[in-house]
Amino acid sequence: MPPLQVSFERTPLITNQELDDIFQGRAAHHTTLRAHDFPPELLIEIVSYLPRRELWRMIGINRMLFELGMNELYEEVRLMDCGRAGYKTFEQIGHQNIASRVQRLNIRPTFLPRMGRDGKAVYDKSLTTSELKSRKAQSSAFLTLALTSLRKCSHIRELTVVVQDQLYLTSAFAKFFHKLIKLVGAELGALTVDMTLPNFLSIHRAFDSKLLPKLSSLTIKITNTRFTTSTRQARRIRRALLNIITSLGSTLQSLAFEVIDCNLSKLFQKLQKLPPLRSLELRTEIGFSTLIPTIHFVSFLQRNASNLERLVIRRPTVDIPNSWNLNVMVSRLYDLLCIQRLPQLKELVLEMDYPVILTSLTSHLHTFVPHLRNLTLTGPSSVLDDPKLTSLLESLANCDKGLECLKISLSCFCPQHLDLIASFLPNLRKLDLTYEVLQASAELTGLGLTICEDDVYCAFRNREYGRWGLEELRLLEVLKCPQGHPDPRLLDAIADSLLSIKRITRARTCDCK
């Protein structure tokens, strides 16, 4: 077949016959597809994969590609460095033609001073007094320029602010953040804040419902700090979070936060029902000092049972000290099962590190989430054996049989397990499964017998799932790599028995050779 060329010249569309010839491998010599032959949605998708240097070359071809390239280049703007590159970016944004394209603003300031052990700013001692004043003046001038340029950006919908633990949030930056919220807050739909507790306390007053009337998604991550958190700071952060969530409660549809250094139980005790709330994501150790007693969290879920559609509970992204009492975790996790019913919940994601909860969860899942659509069970202790898998599938089958997506981990994977999933979940559309060992039959599990790989693949290939409507499949073997490796032969064998399959993930997500 001759090579297919793509031209960006303005010429008439190709005919249906020519298009059919292309896909059937009968394309004539010098067949050319032109930019205007592609649907706009396809061009936008293609442009999103191009590196920035190629986008700069592309905008000089024609007007249509200029608009697509400029939208991709300036859809997200980052405020990081106050050097020449930062100045150039915000000078360009000062032009109305560019400012109107900005929809996301990502602030990760690297020009802030370091924070010392006393919690105060530390500057380079090698700098003279005049050099220090010059550096402060430069950062202040840069923030002023950024505010002036962002004043013209009337379409910003998402704002992300990340301040690392080693940086000190200066009063100048705090004032900049308050002014920024006043400028862009009226149309802001999503806000993400990631910083340490002392830094967050410097800016929390900017979260005002009058300044953020349309905010529907709020993510707050109070990262772990090197410095000791006082009891007074813990009380202040709880009070600040309570005031923020209560103030924005009339518009919040998605709420996610991670807090390590203070007890969230008192926060949930005082939080009332948030009528618009649809999604709640919490990263904390349930049952540890961050959420004791858990009954207040359960009560908060009950107050929002009629509107909550998505619930995600994960471990924090930082390591938990070993000195924390693990027995408290075991005794308090059962409080989650006290929830009588979450009738509107469609997606449940649980990351469990303790097997005591798994047995009860697999058999009682249908009692409080009867209309579940997506289920994800992750974590080191969420690996299912044969009895737990059967119990989980039976529980899910007692729901309305509407489960569409399932992500689980198995200690051993064999054709009988796929039979069970297909039998209990006939409406499943997406399956994401990790396993440690592959076997040809469930009866061989735990016997330590070595089975020929060809027999294993034949056992999968000989299955037939003609009526099962599974469309997406992802299988990963995690015994050698925690991130998992796909087995091409296994995927091919299962694909032969699944007539409805449309997408099989074969790519690795790790750097293993």
Looking at 34-43, 332-341, 391-400, 432-441, which range is the least confident one? 332-341
| Tally of structural domains, the chain | 1
Mind listing the pLDDT tens digit for each residue in 20-64?
554 555 554 445 556 666 777 788 888 888 888 888 888 888 888
Is residue 419 assigned to a domain?
yes
Assigned domain for 227 exists: no
pLDDT band at 452 (very low <50, low <70, confident <90, very high): low
Beta bridge mates, 32:
5
Of 313-322, 414-423, 475-484, the range with the highest mean pLDDT is 414-423
Residue 48 is assigned to a structural domain of this protein: no
Question: What's the whole-number mean pLDDT along residues 461-483?
Answer: 87
Which value, to the nearest 10 degrees, does the dihedral of the CA atoms of residues 485, 347, 250, 299 take?
-110
Q: Tell me if 433 is assigned to some domain.
A: yes
- Predicted confidence at residue 301, as pLDDT, reads 87
pLDDT at residue 347 tops 50: yes
User: Are 340 and 302 a contacting pair, CB within 8 Å?
Assistant: yes
Evaluate if pTM is beyond 0.85. no
Answer yes or no: is 459 within a domain: yes
For residue 214, the model assigns a pLDDT of: 94
Q: What is the pLDDT of residue 18?
A: 55
If you average pLDDT over residues 260-288, what whole number do you get? 80
**pLDDT class for 324, splitting at 50, 70, 90?**
very low
- 437 belongs to a structural domain: yes
Please give the pLDDT value at position 36.
Answer: 65
The tens digit of pLDDT for each residue in 81-104 reads: 888 888 988 998 988 888 999 999
Please give the C-alpha separations between residue 387 and each of 201, 369, 442, 478, in angstroms, as whole numbers: 49, 21, 11, 21
**More confident position, 29 or 475:** 475
Rounded to a whole number of angstroms, the distance between the first and last alpha carbons of the chain is: 34
Sorting pLDDT into bands at 50, 70 and 90, what band is 256? very high
Cβ(190)–Cβ(163) under 8 Å? no
Q: Which residues contact 409 (CB under 8 A, 6 or more apart)?
A: 377, 378, 382, 383, 384, 433, 434, 435, 478
Q: What is the pLDDT of residue 442?
A: 59
Specify the DSSP class assigned to residue 32: E
For residue 430, is it within any domain?
A: yes
pLDDT value for 328? 46
d(Cα 492, Cα 396) in Å, to the nearest integer?
28
Specify whether the CB–CB gap between 309 and 278 falls below 8 A. Answer: yes
Q: Mean pLDDT across the chain, nearest whole number?
A: 81
User: Can you give the residue range of the structural domain that contains 412?
Assistant: 404-512
Q: How far is CA 94 from CA 9, 56, 139, in A?
A: 32, 19, 18
Give the pLDDT confidence score for residue 35 in this predicted structure: 63
Do the domain assignments include residue 457?
yes
pLDDT at 178 over 90: yes
Banded model confidence at residue 166, pLDDT cuts 50, 70, 90: confident
Question: Rounded distance, CA 487 to CA 456, Å?
Answer: 12
| DSSP string across 284-350 | S-TTSTTSSSTHHHHHHHHHTTTT--EEEEE--SSPPPTTS-HHHHHHHGGGGGG----TT--EEEE
What is the rounded distance in angstroms from the CA atom of residue 386 to the CA atom of residue 31?
56
Give whichever of 217-231, 418-432, 452-466 has the largest mean pLDDT.
418-432
pLDDT tens for each residue of 264-275: 788 888 998 999
Report CA 103 to chain centroid distance, whole Å: 19
